[in-house]
Amino acid sequence: DAGVIQSPRHEVTEMGQEVTLRCKPISGHDYLFWYRQTMMRGLELLIYFNNNVPIDDSGMPEDRFSAKMPNASFSTLKIQPSEPRDSAVYFCASSFAGAEANYGYTFGSGTRLTVV
C-alpha cells in the first residue's frame, strides 16, 4: 500500500480564497482523522470519521472549515474563506479498529498551507 496520500504537499493562497485539501486513506482503514499542526498549538484534532460518517467535529475552529468523506477512499478539508491564521501543516491520518494490533494511526506527509 502507498500509505496515506495527501495533496497538495504545499499550498500558497491569498487571504479570502477557498482552499481544498485532499486525503486518500489506506485501503481498508475505517477511521480517518484531520489534524492541524502549528508551533503555537501543536497537533490539534479537527475532525474524524468512522465508515465515512463524521463522529466528532468539535475541533473544527469555525464555520469557515468543513470536511467531507464521500466514500471510503477520499476525504476533503475545505477552508472558505481562508485567513492568514489558518497557515499550518494539515495532516490526514487513518486507522483500522478491527484488530488490537492496529490501534495506532498512519499519517500522511501533510499539506503545508500558507495564507498570505
Partner 1 sequence: AQSVTQLDSQVPVFEEAPVELRCNYSSSVSVYLFWYVQYPNQGLQLLLKYLSGSTLVKGINGFEAEFNKSQTSFHLRKPSVHISDTAEYFCAVRNTGGFKTIFGAGTRLFVKA
Q: Which residues contact 63 (CB under 8 A, 6 or more apart)?
A: none
Taking residue 114's Cβ as centre, other Cβ atoms within 10 Å add up to 13
Helix (H, G, I), strand (E, B) or coil at 85: helix
Residue 13 engages partner 1 in binding (rule: CB under 8 A): no
* Residues paired with 92 in a beta bridge: 34
Residue 105 engages partner 1 in binding (rule: CB under 8 A): yes
Residue 107 engages partner 1 in binding (rule: CB under 8 A): yes
Q: Which stretch binds partner 1 (CB under 8 A): 12-20, 39-47, 63-71, 72-80?
A: 39-47
Q: Cα 46 vs. chain centroid, distance in angstroms?
A: 8
Residue 100 engages partner 1 in binding (rule: CB under 8 A): yes
Q: Which stretch binds partner 1 (CB under 8 A): 16-24, 60-68, 74-82, 104-112?
A: 104-112
CA-to-CA distance for 102 and 28, rounded, in angstroms? 12
CA-to-CA distance for 96 and 31, rounded, in angstroms? 6
Choose, by CB under 8 A, the member of 55, 83, 98, 116 that binds partner 1.
Answer: 55
Q: Which residues bind partner 1 (CB under 8 A)?
A: 4, 31, 33, 35, 42-43, 45, 48, 50, 55-56, 91, 93, 95, 97, 100, 103-110
